[in-house]
Amino acid sequence: MPADSKTNETVSITDNTTGKKVDFPLLTGTEGPKVIDIRTLYSGLGFFTYDPGYTSTGSTESKITYIDGDAGILRHRGYSIEELAEKSDYMETCYLLLHGELPTAAQKEDFESTITRHTMVHDQMNNFFRGFRRDAHPMAVMCGVVGAMAAFYHDSTDITDPHQRLVASHRLIAKMPTIAAMTYKYSIGQPFMYPRNDLDYAENFLYMMFAVPCEAYKVNPVLSKAMDRIFILHADHEQNASTSTVRLAGSTGANPFACIAAGIASLWGPAHGGANEAVLAMLGKIGTKDNIPAFIQKVKDKEEMLMGFGHRVYKNYDPRAKIMARTCHEVLSELNIKDEPLLDMAIEMEQIALNDKYFVDRKLYPNVDFYSGIILKAMGIPVSMFTVLFAVARTVGWIAQWSELIADPAQKIGRPRQLYTGAAPRNYAPLHLRK
């Protein structure tokens, strides 16, 4: 914990049974609410805190991403997501997240060239893929393949070596689109496409997804620009569930490939990154606009969830959802899709929800996943690949947070405690005496 986080303020807790009182320092970051440093709670008072879901718990100090959920603000290294999405590109955002500053022209060129030259995967990985069923969910394949990277790239698993850590970071960022596209190609029985070094990150991903070896394929620049922006919007989001999973795995000293595989597993759930797939399933289930009011009623009766809505931190519009909605219109217009029933339904649902007391009272707004699926579907990305794309984009956030953790001298193994409510001590009964 940096010295400049300390304030002169404290918060006291008194144990009413013993009368013992302990003062806990209040810490302050660059922005955001003050934080009570409760590290001496157990040694001072013999208590633990109880906070399932970590609704009031800061698990780490971090310099990477800041969110003000009430104001709907998201910044990476001080730069607003709106500005990054409009003026930057994904490679530059990756550099910013990893290194803390926007790159100079020379640094950018060098970084892009390094990432480009790491995009191919070990040729033996092609054989590894063949062990999976063709109808496996791409997220299942991705969890397995990324975890297996530790076996293919053993020379970048020594986490005590800063150079190996950097190489692992580059390998992960560079190879994720290749692995993602391979999961798709494998599922449809088409040959894997090698990456092309003349294409940028987003173009390369679309190329590896949609090209085939027997004919030329030209990537649509509007779509690759939209894909690049989608990658920026998903790049990092401070201590969300998958990032916290990566950090917890990393705190044990596990190698970066294992940690990112753990993050992918955590992202898969429908309450987190799996929501983009779940939104499309929900819209499909509702079917037509006429059925929206009945569905909204089911949500209010707690029989259904409005997927792509609500957020632990945002109690205001998720700023990424606004940019995503705009991007959605751009993509549909480029593809000359004048009438997209899914988009019409999504817009109508959003309007109903934003004006309905149930959603207003609970401060439920569209999140990043609400519109992304509609864009991806229009681009021809299959629904089962949506969360895979989230994983591709989030890899830089995971790895930046992991690198921050490993470099932090105050880092300790993550080990929460519990409120035990199980059986009190009792004696073992031999089998013949049990009823």
Q: How many CB atoms lie within 10 A of CB 122?
A: 14
Query: Nearer Cβ to ligand SDX, position 1 or 271?
Result: 271
**242 touches 273 (CB < 8 A):** yes
| Annotation says 158 is catalytic | no
Task: Give the SS3 label for residue 31.
Answer: coil
Query: Nearer Cβ to ligand SDX, position 238 or 330?
Result: 238
Contacts with ligand SDX by CB under 6 A lie at 53, 237, 240, 271-273, 275, 299, 305-313, 362, 364, 367-369
Residue 335 parent element (H or E): none
Query: Nearer Cβ to ligand SDX, position 99 or 315?
Result: 315
Query: Nearer Cβ to ligand SDX, position 208 or 299?
Result: 299
| Angle at the Cα of 100 from the Cα atoms of 99 and 103, rounded to 5 degrees | 70
Query: Nearer Cβ to ligand SDX, position 211 or 381?
Result: 381
Residue 49, CA distances (Å) to 22, 56, 132, 386 in order = 15, 10, 43, 37
Q: Mind giving me the DSSP string for 216-264?
A: -----HHHHHHHHHHHHHHS--TT-HHHHHHHHHHTTT--HHHHHHHHH
Give least dist CB 329 to ligand SDX, A: 21
Give least dist CB 272 to ligand SDX, A: 4
Task: Give the SS3 label for residue 144.
Answer: helix
Give least dist CB 109 to ligand SDX, A: 29
Catalytic residue among 137, 170, 311, 318: 311
Residue with the closest Cβ to ligand SDX? 310
Give least dist CB 362 to ligand SDX, A: 4
Burial-class residue 430 by CB neighbours within 10 Å (0-12, 13-18, 19+). Answer: exposed
Amino acid present at 148: A
Give least dist CB 291 to ligand SDX, A: 17
Give least dist CB 366 to ligand SDX, A: 9
Residue 16, CA distances (Å) to 97, 257, 418 in order = 46, 48, 22
Q: Looking at 334-377, which runs of residues are DSSP E strands? A: none
Instruction: Give me the count of residues in the chain.
Output: 435
Catalytic residue among 228, 236, 318, 369: 369
Query: Which token pair is 77?
Result: 């290294």
The set of residues, in sequence order, having a beta carbon less than 8 Å from that of 40 and lying 6+ positions away, is 22, 24
Query: Nearer Cβ to ligand SDX, position 176 or 299?
Result: 299
**191 touches 201 (CB < 8 A):** no
| Annotation says 311 is catalytic | yes
Query: Nearer Cβ to ligand SDX, position 285 or 312?
Result: 312
Residue 8 parent element (H or E): strand 6-14
Give least dist CB 103 to ligand SDX, A: 24
Q: Which residues are catalytic?
A: 311, 369
